[in-house]
Amino acid sequence: MKYAQLYFDYNATTPCAKEVVDAMLPHFHEDFGNPSSSHHPYGWLAKRSVEDATASIAKSLEVAPSSLVYTSGATESINMVLKGVARKLQSKGKHIITTKAEHKAVLDTCIFLEEEGFEISYLDVESDGLISLEKLNKTLRPDTILVSILFANNETGVIQPLDDIAGKVHANGSLLFSDTTQALGKVAISEVLKKVDYACFSGHKVYGPKGIGLVYIKNNEDGDGLPSLIQGGGQQKRQRGGTINTPLIVGLAKAIALAFEQFDDEKNRIEKLRNKLEAGLLQIEMALSNSKSPKRLPNTVHISFPYVDGANLLIALSAQIAVSNGSACNSASVEPSHVLMAMGVERTLAYASLRLSIGRYTTDADIEKAIAIISEEVSKQRENNILWERRG
Ligand code: PLP
């Protein structure tokens, strides 16, 4: 590791596993062919590598290989599904439902679609981060073409009841997309994929390379008719133009295979570490957890520390421990987390919050160090806060 720091930001990104790098390397220089070159062995070999990788991913996810389309990452996948469904079904209706606690990749795409004349309903979430099925039911309309609900929240780790949601959405004749980016490798996913029409994944969240992702399209054997975001070359059944990225696809397949091989042991190990971290941080006076739902990611802790300036805390911690106050994709923002705001957390408390996400290379010793460092820093910050002294 380059920095003398503890890494507690696995939801932002993960290191690419050594096994993944080893699997990719031959595809940069030796087996470098273009999978679409159909007249010579360089192309045939590359095509075979991509087909093997796709078969391996499909087996892990328990889906048909034809349901997988490669993209540059979850953001592109989200754009492809939301814009694609909107364009494909606009003659049926122009209403889309999502939640206020989605990742910005969904929310910003929804704003784009609003500018194109679509109507978006943004559902509130309850104080535990879950959506209300009753509110969803009331919001569904005959012209609702798509519902987009984040499966596992990247900030709080809270998991939505997609089973029940799918029942309501499909009974209304609407399609369901779920951003499943954070769930892959952390919680069981194959049953969820059976319920939704579309989902998405990203390599760099599962110890794979950056710049590769997937769209899952349930009924895609003969193509789903989803308009492509990127034209040119007709690759991937004309669903996403551009030369297929063999090395990154091989890396993604290796990363997913590793995650599934280690799934049970790793989930149990991480969950124990997460519980220890959370319990340790909740020992800090007045600390509050923002991950209140019993169903949540095993690796994520989100805690507010009243009477602490969150920005100062992050700056002070940055020399020793890599944590975040929300989504990395939104870290340039000086606004409090939109996810906490959607949950009704008070603004000053939302500012005073940390997300810690652990992973494959986190050890028990790291957890103890993190608790000690954060406890000390929170105390120091409070010593400088007159309101802490006067808190009564
Ligand atoms: N969706 C969720 C829930 C995420 O956590 C992220 C990454 O932070 C994304 C989408 C975007 O992923 P990518 O970096 O692959 O575009």
326 pLDDT band (50/70/90 cuts)?
Answer: low
List all residues 6 or more positions away from 384 whose beta carbon is below 8 Å from its beta carbon. none
Q: Please tell me if the CB atom of residue 105 comes closer than 6 angstroms to any atom of ligand 1.
A: yes
Asked whether residue 229 falls in the same domain as residue 300, the answer is no
Q: Please tell me if the CB atom of residue 266 comes closer than 6 angstroms to any atom of ligand 1.
A: no
Which one-letter DSSP state was computed for residue 330? G
Structural domain containing residue 229: 18-260
Q: Please tell me if the CB atom of residue 202 comes closer than 6 angstroms to any atom of ligand 1.
A: yes
Average pLDDT, integer, range 109-120: 98
296 pLDDT band (50/70/90 cuts)?
Answer: very high
Q: Please tell me if the CB atom of residue 247 comes closer than 6 angstroms to any atom of ligand 1.
A: no
CATH code of the domain containing 358: 3.90.1150.10
Q: Please tell me if the CB atom of residue 236 comes closer than 6 angstroms to any atom of ligand 1.
A: no
Asked whether residue 210 falls in the same domain as residue 327, the answer is no
Closest CA to 337 of 153, 206, 131, 152: 153
Asked whether residue 87 falls in the same domain as residue 10, the answer is no
Residue with the two structure tokens 């507010």: 304
Q: Please tell me if the CB atom of residue 156 comes closer than 6 angstroms to any atom of ligand 1.
A: no
Instruction: State the distance from the centre of ligand 1 to the C-alpha of 12, rounded, in angstroms.
Output: 8
Average pLDDT, integer, range 44-60: 98
Average pLDDT, integer, range 357-362: 98
Closest CA to 31 of 19, 15, 43, 40: 43
> For residue 27, what pLDDT is reported?
97
105 pLDDT band (50/70/90 cuts)?
Answer: very high
Q: Please tell me if the CB atom of residue 179 comes closer than 6 angstroms to any atom of ligand 1.
A: yes
Q: Is the pLDDT of residue 332 over 70?
A: no
> For residue 329, what pLDDT is reported?
46
Q: Between these two residues, 1 and 278, which has the higher pLDDT value?
A: 278
Report the atom number in ligand 1 closest to the C-alpha of 210: 15
Q: Within a domain: residue 135?
A: yes
> What are the pLDDT digits (tens) for 233-288?
889 999 999 999 999 999 999 999 999 999 999 999 999 999 999 999 999 999 99
43 pLDDT band (50/70/90 cuts)?
Answer: very high
The chain-wide mean pLDDT, for the chain, equals 94
> What's the rounded Cα separation, in Å, for the pair 337 and 219?
36
Average pLDDT, integer, range 26-55: 96
Instruction: State the distance from the centre of ligand 1 to the C-alpha of 181, rounded, in angstroms.
Output: 6
389 pLDDT band (50/70/90 cuts)?
Answer: confident
Asked whether residue 191 falls in the same domain as residue 337, the answer is no
> For residue 292, what pLDDT is reported?
86
> What are the pLDDT digits (tens) for 90-102?
999 999 999 999 9
Asked whether residue 57 falls in the same domain as residue 186, the answer is yes
Assign 22 to helix, strand or coil.
Answer: helix
Q: Please tell me if the CB atom of residue 213 comes closer than 6 angstroms to any atom of ligand 1.
A: yes
> For residue 330, what pLDDT is reported?
46
> What's the rounded Cα separation, in Å, for the pair 54 and 42?
19
Instruction: State the distance from the centre of ligand 1 to the C-alpha of 156, rounded, in angstroms.
Output: 14
Domain boundary among 260, 288, 323: 260
Q: Within a domain: residue 200?
A: yes
35 pLDDT band (50/70/90 cuts)?
Answer: very high
> What are the pLDDT digits (tens) for 158-176?
999 999 999 999 999 999 9
Report the atom number in ligand 1 closest to the C-alpha of 150: 3
Pocket test residue of 16, 77, 103 for ligand 1, highest count of atoms within 8 A of CB: 103
Report the atom number in ligand 1 closest to the C-alpha of 76: 16
Q: Is the pLDDT of residue 112 over 70?
A: yes
CATH code of the domain containing 194: 3.40.640.10
Confidence (pTM)? 0.95
Report the atom number in ligand 1 closest to the C-alpha of 213: 15
Q: Is the pLDDT of residue 331 over 80?
A: no
Instruction: State the distance from the centre of ligand 1 to the C-alpha of 384, rounded, in angstroms.
Output: 36
Q: What percent of the chain clears pLDDT 90, i.e. is strictly above it? A: 89
Q: Is the pLDDT of residue 362 over 50?
A: yes
- 10 Å CB burial of residue 108 (0-12, 13-18, 19+) is middle
Asked whether residue 267 falls in the same domain as residue 252, the answer is no
> For residue 224, what pLDDT is reported?
83
> What's the rounded Cα separation, in Å, for the pair 38 and 67?
23
> What's the rounded Cα separation, in Å, for the pair 128 and 343?
7
Considering just the CA atoms, what is the radius of gyration of the chain in Å?
A: 22
Asked whether residue 211 falls in the same domain as residue 293, the answer is no
Question: Which residue has its alpha carbon closest to ligand 1 atom 7?
Answer: 12
Catalytic residue among 16, 110, 200, 329: 329
Domain boundary among 260, 279, 313: 260
Active site (annotated) includes residue 16? no
Q: What is the tally of structural domains in the chain? A: 2
Contact between 235 and 56 under an 8 Å Cβ cutoff? The reply is no
